[in-house]
Every structure is written in structure tokens, then in C-alpha cells.
Amino acid sequence: MNHDQSAGNSAAHALLKVLNDHGVDRVYLVPGESFLGVLDALSDFPQIDVVNCRHEAGAGFMACADGRLRQIPGVLMVSRGPGASHAAIAIHTAEQDAIPLIMIVGQIPKADLRKRAFQEIDYRVMFGDIAKWVEEVTDPAQLAAACWKAIRIATSGRPGPVVLVVPEDMQQPEVDQPYWQSSPPLPTLLRQEDARRLAEMLRNAKRPLIVAGGYLDRDRGRKVLIEFAERYQCPVVLAFRQQDLFPHQHPLYAGDLGLANPKSQIECFDQADLIVALGTLLDDITTQGYRFPRWPQPQQALVHVYPDHAVVGQHFAAQWPIVADPIDIMSQLIDCEPAAIQTGERKAWQQALLEHRKQWAAWPDSRSYADGLAFVEVIKSLEHRAAPDWVLCLDAGTFAAPVYRHWRFAPPQRLLAPLVGAMGFGTPAALVAAMRMPDRPVICLLGDGCFQMSGQEMVLAAERQLPILFIVANNASYASIRIHQDRHYPGRHRGTSLVNPDFVALMKGYGIDAEAVETLSDFEACLDRVLTRWQQAPHERLAFGIEVKTSLLASLPGAHHA
């Protein structure tokens, strides 16, 4: 096929124009012959940064991190069949983590569709269960419209992934280049009398509790949440892996809902007489397996605010389901006329929550292990040195557990972690964090297993001189799974040991200076050298890698902080 077109008016140009008009200024891709037309049009959009990745999962995680940080769809471009298969993890992650994401997949020519041609997959079937929308475009004139709709769907209600499938011969034909406008969402407000009634409930509750979730993960959300909690003197507990949404040093901070809360703490949360769930999906883990609050009818009044009918009422019969933007609702209630707040029992309630949190979050005493350094010590010394501008990027694995449990987040410190627990998220997320927040030091914590799932992407840190500190916890094991084995099949360890490569040599091979350490003092000395260098010459910060030989025993059942 002759792809010679006059530059500027192809369907691919129209597609990129819609993306760019809606704030997309960067795309993540692994190229394929199935989307040459889109690649070619990218040459006419120098304002769109093209990040070439090594693996579609890496590209996909980068698009997820970008979508999460900006609430503008992260855009990922992959080839048909093999490329789309590699990228499937990004669609799953975006769906579970409620991240706006658009994946553009090059497809076989239109005439060959449904013939099981070379590398053909029907993506409507493949991604039907995990994408919000899958569209295969079979008319070049419709491509821009499909893209506009993709943006609307990815960003509205519960954010999520959309897959746009573009046969290779739908990209080059010339089409009109309309301007597809979008207006910002209108504020969603309660009727005056309802706002007053809700304010009344908040004031009169003896033991109110806010459960704050990922929809608030944006600047305005964080700010308004603090104002709202203070205005109504209402303690805040954070949904699964949203630890950076609220300052931990705040007297109203009541902790988070995660994988290992003690029973007594959950029982204390359940003493609440009013739960205001704001921007949370009230998902499996946040609700401790749909048990807090009681399922399906909570024992206390539940007000659930989320801007999606499919989320509010999905699991719990709320006393007051509100389908609206929780940030708008909080702002509206902040403006309600002041009235006295029930203070009597509130103090005791706050104190009880605080006691539970303190007990649970206290750092454990140091302990030594014969097989290496307990990674909790590494995290403790990192927290000790942390500045408010740090961005913490975590991969999935038990090495990260002490961060979720003990780290005292102090805004504007940020946490970027996969809610879905997908291994391989950490490195790509750190790269995106460093590109989007170039003035902030990025600390990326990886297990040895996680590092090997997407570590190759770190070459971008060398290429673009991104200031990331990669810390690899090398315990020669998929320890998270070893823990489960030891619980259920004690002493039987098939499939969870790792024979590892030389991580320092690997990182150096990717152009990143690195060092291996075995003791806490060596780790701290190395860390201090890197941080001092970064502080002294902020504009010359370079990535650095530290491999820490860590104890496996420290994470197994029976260890004091497991």
C-alpha cells in the first residue's frame, strides 16, 4: 500500500489533534507496522513528546502513572496481537485503579478483519471485561469522533481505560479536521435544603468518620478534604493505598484501610455512627472484604458520594447515596453557615482512633537477621531523611509493606503505588513521576522480582537524566508468595526462590551508577552521599541505584513486623 499522503490532513492527524486539544502532550509506545500512519503523523506534532519504551507493559504502566498524576488520559500506543497482549496489564491496572487511560492499537487492514489474519485479535472480546469501552474504527472520518468519545468515557464517572482499535488503512486517508471542543464538567451540587441536612448530620454525629478515596487524588481534592475535615471536626481514614491523601501528623488523621489492619482497629472504625465515604469505590480491600461497614446494610448511617451511578450502591445500601463529585459536595458543605459541632463525645472518639493508629503505625524495634538486612530498616532511615517534596514510587511486593504501615506522609509528599498489586509498576511509574515533576526527588522501591519485570525501562532515566533513586530489595525470593506458602504449606517452597543477576552491573549497563550494600550503615552512607549530591547541585541530579541485600526471614510469618 502506498502511504504517501500530503502532510497534515490524515485521519491520524485528526486523532492526534483531538488528543492534543485535550491536554495530551506525551504518548508512550512500542512501535508496530500496524500504526505507521499514526507514527508518521506524530512527526507533525512536535508538541507531543514520544516516549519509546522497551516493552508494552512498561509503556502501559507509564501511561497509567501519567493518567493517575494528571487525571488526563495517559496515552499508550501499541501494535496489534503481540503488542496488545503485552499491554493488557495496563488495561487491567487502569480498570482496578480507576485511572483514565487510552490505548491505541494498530489493527490489520479493514478488509481482513475477522479472518484470523496474521496477528489478528478481536479486542472487543479480549478487553470486553476490563475496558470501559472498546471501539474498532472502520471509517477514517470517524476516528477523531471516536477519540473524543474515548476521552469523555475514560475521564467521566469512575475513570478507566478505553481501547481504540485502528486498522492500518484507517490512519492515512485524508479527512476533515474538525475542532472537537469539550467544556469543563459542571459542578454538581446538592439542593440547599439537602446540603443543610447533610451538614446537620455531620454536626450532630457523635462518632463521624470520613473514608476518603482515590477520586480525591488531585490538588483540589487534597486541599478541600483537609478543609472539610477541619470544618466538621471529622476524623479521616484513607482508602486502600491512598496514604498520601491526608497529612499523617494532622490530629484528625485516623489511619488507612489496608491488607493487614488489626481486628480491634476495624472494630473501632465500626463504632462510627456516621460514615461519609468520599470518592472511594468502597472496594474489596478498603472494606476488609466487604465487612466494614457491615454488608449489605451498614449498622450506621452511610453517606456515599461518588460521581458514578455504577459505583454508588454497588456494594452497600447507603442511607444516603449521592451521585456527585465529592470535591464539589465538600466545598458546598464548607460554605454552609457555621453552627455548633457536637463536641462532647467527639474528643473521646478521636482519641480512641488515634490510639489505634499510633499502636499500629509505630516503627518496630530494630532486629538483626542472619540472612541480611530487614528492609524495614531501610525504609525507616529513608523516612528519617525524607523531604516534603519527595515522590515515593512503589512496586508490588512485601518489601513495600512497611511504607504502607509506618511511613508518616507529610504533604506535598506523594505516593505512587499500584492498587491492583501489579508487579512491574514501580520503575515505569518513577520515570513518569520524574518527567512530570522534574524538581522533585523520586525514590523508587523495588523487589528483586519486580525489578526484573520492567527494570529495562530505567534506561530512560539515563537517556533523559531523570533524578530517581532506585532501591532494589534483593532477598533472592518472591517473598510475598513465600509468606503465603509458609502459612498454608509450611516449609514447602517450590517456585518462590530466585537466582538473581548482578543488579549493580545491570543498572550500570542501563547507564545508571549503582552500588550494592549489605549493612544499614553502608546503606545510610550511600544514601547520604546521593542526597547530598542532589542537594548541592539540584540541576545536575542523576539517577542512582542501590541494591540492598535484604533478609527473607524478616518478612516471613513470625517476624515481628510481618
Which helix (H) or strand (E) segment holds residue 92: the answer is: helix 82-97
Smallest separation, CB 396 to ligand TPP (Å)? 5
- Which is nearer to ligand TPP, 265 or 480 (by Cβ)? 480
d(CA 290, CA 440): 37
Q: Give the dihedral sign, CA 288/289/291/293.
A: positive
- Which is nearer to ligand TPP, 93 or 119 (by Cβ)? 93
CB atoms near residue 484 (< 10 Å): 13
> Do 237 and 229 touch, CB atoms closer than 8 A?
no
Q: What is the DSSP code (8-state) at residue 338?
A: P
- Which is nearer to ligand TPP, 272 or 479 (by Cβ)? 479
Smallest separation, CB 548 to ligand TPP (Å)? 11
* Closest CA relative to residue 446, chosen from 497, 375, 382, 513: 375
C-alpha cell at position 19:
488528543
Smallest separation, CB 451 to ligand TPP (Å)? 7
- Which is nearer to ligand TPP, 302 or 450 (by Cβ)? 450
- Which is nearer to ligand TPP, 292 or 478 (by Cβ)? 478
* Closest CA relative to residue 476, chosen from 454, 499, 505: 499
d(CA 480, CA 555): 8
Smallest separation, CB 92 to ligand TPP (Å)? 9
d(CA 502, CA 189): 57
Smallest separation, CB 495 to ligand TPP (Å)? 9
d(CA 196, CA 190): 9
d(CA 556, CA 184): 50
d(CA 217, CA 236): 15
- Which is nearer to ligand TPP, 253 or 478 (by Cβ)? 478
The residues of the shown chain that bind ligand TPP, judged by CB under 6 A, are 396-399, 421-424, 447-450, 473, 475, 477-481
- The type of residue at 301 is A
* Closest CA relative to residue 277, chosen from 334, 216, 231: 216
Q: What is the DSSP code (8-state) at residue 365?
A: P
- The type of residue at 237 is V
- Which is nearer to ligand TPP, 349 or 407 (by Cβ)? 407
Which helix (H) or strand (E) segment holds residue 268: the answer is: helix 263-269
- Which is nearer to ligand TPP, 253 or 510 (by Cβ)? 510
CA distances from 491 to 16, 383, 474, 484, 488 (A): 55, 34, 21, 11, 9
- Closest chain position to ligand TPP (CB): 447
d(CA 165, CA 496): 38
Smallest separation, CB 553 to ligand TPP (Å)? 12
- Which is nearer to ligand TPP, 155 or 480 (by Cβ)? 480
- Which is nearer to ligand TPP, 63 or 422 (by Cβ)? 422
Smallest separation, CB 223 to ligand TPP (Å)? 33
d(CA 298, CA 314): 13
Smallest separation, CB 477 to ligand TPP (Å)? 5
Smallest separation, CB 391 to ligand TPP (Å)? 20
> Do 185 and 317 touch, CB atoms closer than 8 A?
no
Smallest separation, CB 158 to ligand TPP (Å)? 22
